[in-house]
Amino acid sequence: MIQTSLANLIVFNLVIVLGALAVIWAGKVWAERRRERSRTRHQVVCAVCGHVFEDAARRDTVVTCPGCGRLVERQALMDL
């Protein structure tokens, strides 16, 4: 039988609970970032007029903006 005090038992349980909460929180943040990245993967923002549109075809790095009709270079969206 392991001899321990009540204070050590409380600290040990607190460390386990907080560690589990940290792991769950990190997993949720990771899943949220992954979901956001997959949602905005095909979005393109026009640098000329600011129009946001979807372009699922990832063939070209330059696409035509449906808002203003100009050629737009595909760039990664920044998180705000």
Contact between 68 and Zn ion per CB under 5 A: yes
- Does 64 sit near Zn ion (CB under 5 A)? no
Tokens 């393109």 — which residue? Answer: 44
Please identify which residue in 17, 21, 48, 52 interacts with Zn ion, judged by CB under 5 A: 48
Q: Which is nearer to Zn ion, 48 or 76 (CB)?
A: 48
| CB atoms near residue 75 (< 10 Å) | 10
Region label for 29, one of left (φ > 0), alpha (ψ between -120 and 50) or beta (otherwise): alpha
> What part of residues 27-46 is at the interface with Zn ion (CB under 5 A)?
46
74 contacts Zn ion (rule: CB under 5 A): no
